[in-house]
Structure 1
């Protein structure tokens, strides 16, 4: 297990228009993800061909994911001479979309004052009722943003809500030209060789968390398991940009379910150190999640004794020792977490 210092931090992701990915805290434990170009010149194509006064720096465009709260985003834009170029939404819950109306009013004001070229498009799931969405999307759709210049493949990940989606950025291959091969389908596919300085990323809202997964508010266990499988099929190097700082709580449950997992024990120490230092525990990587996240390995033999004991406690009696399907194990594990 790598030391805590090697936990992923914001990295550039596009060979032609480099940007950082910044977690902006909101509410008690939300993260609003901001994709911020490293160079203002990277988004000149977003602006009309007009002259800029000498010495005046043109504002830079930022893409934002799940802005449930407007105030921190507007404060960031004001402090960094920036405007919103695109808004990406994963699902309809208020702590993910609640800030959008106010941000659109703010964007209109910026346009009128010459601080933005246009009001940002709002992307969101086609199967959910989000009044502010201007571009409904679903699995397999490719979303292209102008500033920063990036391509996302939409992945359908229902379960937490009925039509939850994720946005996958394939990253760059380690080829000479740095081009990123497009994913073949809505789940995304791994480039033959990953450039570790430009990793793939997935913005997965409340479906996959660091060491956990979302509650089932509108979907079924079968849907959530299939959604987690789609995400788990992405490349090992994929950075997992979930929307909440739930990691320490998730780890406490994971250790109850999987107490002998050495990788989980090491990750617990790293996560505690990160939070003690005031740092986010996310993004993690899919490689790490496959080793420590009990919901990605619900039917692992190491988890079975603890899961059966939890089921017996809930049932106030013995539980059959017969084989349990992967879906049944996942269903019981999620139910155990709900009452943990």
Structure 2
């Protein structure tokens, strides 16, 4: 791999991800700065990039404090979030490229959770940083976008290689899988995943990263084409997705 990924747990259930090689580091969605700064000091690393997926405070809250220590760092974000991301210096659109650790990443425009949400995919090492669009066993709430937009965004992720490592920004997995079982109780792979996740959380272990293959097999929001999740009233993909998202909102 061109770079290593470190997961840092912050706030109640957020994850901040630090990408680093021997000389430099980048951070994805720094909710807060102190643990990132501690990590960089311990390894004598220079922060060169902040990759933001969207503008919410628990994803950009550490930007300014990091820039105080590393003023030369570039701050990446969606063009549609310009003015909403502190310190943003680079405005990104779908299909744009970003570089880190000798590897080129691709930017995906994935609205739904917010209107300007983006994700960063590094095909060489197989890392996807998806913010709050896709969660382990679930997906983000609809705050600024539509169900059709979020489904189209998730469809993009579903086309990635099954071994792709998915770095979601929150530890929501156990609750997500409880919901998934409520709508697809006969999914044996989902049952096994729930049991494994329950043990992991009881032992204080993280459930992130997940993989695209595992999500396609167990995440209802990537399975709207499955007859087990469709109803006699509708097989329309967007309607099925909307029904699932509404059920999850009240779960």
TM bucket normalised to smaller: over 0.9
Listed as ranges, the gaps of 5+ residues in structure 1 are 1-12, 41-59, 109-118, 172-198, 309-320
2:5 maps to which residue?
A: 21
Say yes or no: does 1:155 pair with 2:108: yes
Give the greater-gyration-radius structure (CA).
1
Distance in 2 between residues matched to 1:153 and 1:323, nearest whole Å: 35
- Give 1:277 shift: 2.6
Tell whether the 8 Å contact from 2:113 to 2:144 is kept in structure 1 after alignment: yes
TM-score (norm 1): 0.71
Tell whether the 8 Å contact from 1:66 to 1:205 is kept in structure 2 after alignment: yes
Tell whether the 8 Å contact from 2:54 to 2:118 is kept in structure 1 after alignment: yes
Distance in 2 between residues matched to 1:140 and 1:299, nearest whole Å: 27
1:191 maps to which residue?
A: none
- Give 1:77 shift: 1.4
Distance in 2 between residues matched to 1:231 and 1:139, nearest whole Å: 13
Tell whether the 8 Å contact from 2:112 to 2:143 is kept in structure 1 after alignment: yes
- Give 1:273 shift: 2.2
Say yes or no: does 1:36 pair with 2:20: yes
Say yes or no: does 1:325 pair with 2:236: yes
1:57 maps to which residue?
A: none
Distance in 2 between residues matched to 1:300 and 1:101, nearest whole Å: 45
Listed as ranges, the gaps of 5+ residues in structure 2 are none
Say yes or no: does 1:263 pair with 2:189: yes
1:61 maps to which residue?
A: 24
Distance in 2 between residues matched to 1:296 and 1:265, nearest whole Å: 17
Matches within 5 A, 1:205-224: 205-224=131-150
CA-atom RMSD, angstroms?
1.3
Corresponding residue to 1:167 among 83, 106, 120: 120
- Give 1:322 shift: 3.5
Distance in 1 between residues matched to 2:128 and 2:51, nearest whole Å: 12
Say yes or no: does 1:130 pair with 2:78: no
What is the SS of the residue equivalent to 1:241?
strand
- Give 1:200 shift: 1.1
Q: Deviations over 1:235-273 (max 9, x none)?
A: 111111110010001011001011000000111122122
Bigger strand share:
2
Distance in 2 between residues matched to 1:276 and 1:323, nearest whole Å: 38
Say yes or no: does 1:75 pair with 2:59: no
The count of residues paired between Structure 1 and Structure 2 equals: 249
Say yes or no: does 1:335 pair with 2:246: yes
Corresponding residue to 1:283 among 199, 209, 226: 209
Tell whether the 8 Å contact from 1:161 to 1:218 is kept in structure 2 after alignment: yes
Q: Deviations over 1:262-295 (max 9, x none)?
A: 0001111221222223221011110110000000
- Give 1:31 shift: 0.6
- Give 1:70 shift: 0.8
Tell whether the 8 Å contact from 2:166 to 2:212 is kept in structure 1 after alignment: yes
- Give 1:83 shift: 2.1
What is the SS of the residue equivalent to 2:228?
coil
TM-score (norm 2): 0.95
- Give 1:131 shift: 3.5
What is the SS of the residue equivalent to 2:8?
strand
